Amino acid sequence: MKYATKINMSFDGIDVQKRARLALAQGFQKGSGLPVSHEYRVHLKELQEIKDRLPPSLRNKQIIVRKLYIHDAGIPAHIHLRDMCVINHHVHANQEETIFYEGEVQRDNDVVTDNDDPFYFMVNTRLLTEVEKYTAKTGDTWILDTVAPHAVIPTKPISQDRELLQIYFYDATYEEVVRAFNPRAIALRFENLPKISEEILSLIPHQSYDGFTFEPFSPESFESAVTLWSELKRFGVEKQHVDKLWIVSMVDDLMIHRDTTSAARMAINIPVLGCEGTELVFYEPRNGVESTPVEYYPGAEAYHPYSIRDVKPVERISYFNHAVLWDVTNIHSVIGVEGQKRITLSVRLKNDDCVKHL
């Protein structure tokens, strides 16, 4: 979806009391066409517990956390005025639909306030087109783009109050929050990277590598690389989790592409030789462009090549001095120092379960 993303975020054990109640939002009363609601700010203890469960890049963002009880499931189409994004945890849902719209935004007269502070305004749906929606289920957690027009519509008779735990972000966009929960890459700080490089170079014929080399090895081939396996184990990866270890040697930049894989989407890239100045660059397609899969060589899994004209760079990760856990199904390339030979070990996993905790 473009404006909402479902995530896994646990709120187990967080006790949000019915205290520090907010003033009811203006217009949230019977007969106004808006739902009757009660809102409660969480106390500092609960706020800190929730912050600690956010990804590290979001913990210092300006947020407000509320517990919300709504006596009527529906909220007309609206846009938020202060926050840019919200995480909605559905403590109890009535299978209501959250609908997103696109088109010309024209304000209605209704402006909902929170303690006399403008909170969001209603929009005229006659000028908008419905583009996507999701159905809320009890226990689900969703990230919503609150600057996009959206509405909440009931789909069945209401059995009890709709109950939400909400985290409003005032200085983080929807894209920032989604990416924090679904990072393209994570740096892994190995304690003895030089020793790992030394072990790997002693086990491969690297002096004979010329130009681009993409060579697979079995985990057993690296049995004696004890420092490598010890470091991987620190991050939950053992030999039985590894599908293959690929040695990648190149002088030029790696083409822009994304992998297809029957094994895990996640891989661990470890710099071995000459990786100073090397960057892993991620891209997004322009205008939804997709490419035709190509086999690099017979029997290998296909990849999707892209032209630089069809993509735009969105993130760069430097990994010459640390390992990187990353998703090979994202569009990417590897950029290095021109004319400098570099060697990387790419640890490809059998499945993603062993790295879910990272």
pLDDT of residue 221: 92
Please identify, in words, the CATH class of the domain defined by 185-355: mainly beta
Percentage of the chain lying above the pLDDT 70 cut: 86
pLDDT of residue 21: 47
Query: Does residue 120 carry a pLDDT above 80?
Result: no
- Write the DSSP symbol of residue 126: G
Answer with the residue of higher pLDDT: 347 or 295: 347
Query: Does residue 20 carry a pLDDT above 70?
Result: no
Q: What is the mean pLDDT of residues 318-333?
A: 88
The tokens for 139 are 């226990």
Q: What is the mean pLDDT of residues 241-265?
A: 87
pLDDT of residue 19: 46
Q: What is the CATH number of domain 4-181?
A: 2.60.120.10
Query: Does residue 76 carry a pLDDT above 90?
Result: no
Domain ranges for the chain: 4-181, 185-355
CA separation for the pair 10, 14 (Å, rounded): 9
Query: Does residue 118 carry a pLDDT above 70?
Result: no
Query: Does residue 37 carry a pLDDT above 70?
Result: no
pTM of the shown model: 0.63
Parallel, antiparallel or unpaired: strands 323-327 and 185-188 = antiparallel
Query: Does residue 294 carry a pLDDT above 60?
Result: yes
pLDDT tens track for 92-117: 898 899 999 999 888 776 555 544 45
Nearest in space to 346 (alpha carbons), one of 331, 328, 321: 328
CA separation for the pair 196, 206 (Å, rounded): 15
CA separation for the pair 212, 343 (Å, rounded): 10
pLDDT of residue 25: 38
Single-letter amino acid, residue 64: I
Please state the φ and ψ torsions of residue 239, each to the nearest 5 degrees: -55, -40
What is the chain's mean pLDDT, rounded?
Answer: 84
In this chain, the answer to whether the domains covering 4-181 and 185-355 adopt an identical fold is: yes
pLDDT of residue 183: 79
pLDDT band per the 50, 70, 90 thresholds, residue 45: confident
